[in-house]
Structure 1
Amino acid sequence: MTGNELIVDYLTSVPAWYLATVEDTPEGAQPHVRPFSFAALQDGEIQFCTATTKDCYREMQAIPRVELTAWKPGRGWIILRGRANLEDRANATVREEGFKHMVALGEDWDDPADPRLTFFTIDDAEAWLCDIDGSWNPIEL
């Protein structure tokens, strides 16, 4: 299993995982964390889904540094950090999966081609599986 396959397997095995972005406010940089739940592999690359109308998208446009994490009992927690690449390169299959996933969450989309629905990847990524014993085990990407 490749590192990206391991990450997608982990993220899709939990109900939600958490993505942190940064907003540059007049008071200084402010981290924002919110739940996400869609991740899919396309040509060995992890595709994530959001909307161009959401704060997280605007924040990633301004400051692309992101970090995500999830915890699963018995498996420790996973961390993935890097730079959001907002170039939407999702193919029709991933776009359909993302659309269905978002609709199942209760979001309102016209169809998989809805221009608000967008996919992103993470460049210059680093990842670890961590455990309560303090270990940070690198995931080769």
Structure 2
Amino acid sequence: MTGKETIVEYLTSVPAWYLATVEETPNGSQPHVRPFSFAMLQDGEIQYCTATTKDVYREMAANPRVELTAWKPSRGWVILRGRANLEDRADAATRQAGFEHMVGLGETWESADDERLTFFTIDDAEAWLCDIDGTWNPVEL
């Protein structure tokens, strides 16, 4: 299993994982964390799904530095950090899977081709599988 396959398997095996962005506020830069639950491997890249109308998209456009994390009992936790690439390169199968996933969460979309539905990747990513004993095991991406 490749490192990217390991990350996708981990993220899709938990109900939610968490993505942190940087939000610019009148009081300065602040971290902003929210749950995500879609990740899919396409052409050797991990695709993540959101909407162009959401704060997370606006925040990534302003500052692409992101970090995600998830914890799974008896498996430790995963950390992945890098720069969000908002160029939507999702193919039809990925768009359909993302659309169905988002609709399953209760979101309303016209179709998999809804202009608001968008996919992004994370460039220059580094990832680790971590354990309570303090080990950070790098994942080759």
State the Cα distance separating 1:67 from its structure 2 match: 0.2
Q: Which residue of 2 aligns with 1:58?
A: 58
Q: Distance in 2 between matches of 1:24 and 1:35?
A: 19
Question: Take 1:45 and 1:6, find their aligned partners in 2: how far apart are those partners?
Answer: 12
Equivalent residue for 1:25?
25
Root-mean-square deviation (Å): 0.4
Structure 2 CA distance for aligned equivalents of residues 94 and 113 of structure 1: 11
Aligned to 2:36: 36
Quote the residue 1:88 is aligned against: 88
1:12 aligns with 2:29: no
1:122 matched residue in structure 2: 122
Structure 2: unaligned runs, 5 residues or longer: none
Q: Which amino acid aligns with 2:90?
A: A
CA distance in 2, matches of 1:105, 1:46: 20
Residue 102 of structure 1 is matched in structure 2 by 102
| Per-residue Cα deviation, 1:25-82 (whole angstroms, up to 9, x for no partner) | 2211110000000000001100000000000000000000000000000100000000
Measured against aligned partners, the alpha-carbon deviations of 1:56-110 in whole angstroms (never above 9, x if no partner) come to: 0000000000000000001000000000000000000000000000000000000
TM-score, normalised with respect to structure 2: 0.99
Partner of residue 75, structure 1: 75
Runs of 4 or more above 3 Å deviation: none
Distance, in Å, in 2 between the alignment partners of 1:82 and 1:24 is: 19
**1:45 alignment counterpart:** 45
Query: Could you tell me which amino acid in structure 2 is paired with residue 43 of structure 1?
Result: D
Cα distance in 2 between the residues matched to 1:134 and 1:50:
32
Amino acid at match of 1:5: E
Aligned identity (percent) is: 80
Number of residue pairs aligned between Structure 1 and Structure 2: 141
2:79 is paired with a residue whose SS is strand
What are structure 1's unaligned runs of at least 5 residues? none
